[in-house]
Amino acid sequence: MFTSESQPSYRIPLVGRFYGDAKSAAAIQDKFYNNVTLMNKYANEVKNIEAAGQDPTKFYKQYPAAILADEVNSYYNDVNKMNQDKKEMLQAKVPIKDIRALEAAKTQTMKQFNDEIAQVQKQR
């Protein structure tokens, strides 16, 4: 668990729950991964509804953010790619300013998805 690379707060039990303010990179990251989990739950629920031969329209009305469940994989894959790129950059001893730029892009990607979910939930 102890490495030279800092650990994201969602990987630290309890600390992640009380960490930083709502606009910090750690808070955005925590919210992103919570949203990923939620979207996967919604996607599974819709699959179960459809497998039972029912129309998921009622579910979508009750949980409007569920319409974004199909988009989550794209965002998640982008973030994972950036995490892999960061590891490679650290191993290659790339200048820290370049690594920080990648981290900022990753945070912006997560924030964008979080904002999409928040916007859909507001329309409810």
Q: What is the pLDDT of residues 10-61, one digit of tens each?
A: 555 555 455 556 678 899 999 999 999 999 999 999 999 999 999 999 999 9
To the nearest whole number, what is the mean pLDDT of the chain?
A: 87
Q: Is the pTM of this model over 0.75?
A: yes
How far, CA to CA in Å, does 3 sit from each of 6, 83, 84? 7, 15, 16
Which has the closest alpha carbon to 99: 87, 111, 109, 110?
Answer: 87
Is residue 6's pLDDT more than 90?
A: no
The whole-number pLDDT of residue 122 equals 85
The whole-number pLDDT of residue 15 equals 52
The whole-number pLDDT of residue 70 equals 87
Spatial separation of the C-alpha atoms in residues 36 and 104, rounded to whole Å: 19
Q: How many residues does the chain have?
A: 124
Query: Would you kindly state where each structural domain of the chain is located, as residue ranges?
Result: 9-122
Question: E strand or H helix at 2, and its extent?
Answer: none
Residues of the chain above pLDDT 90, percent: 74
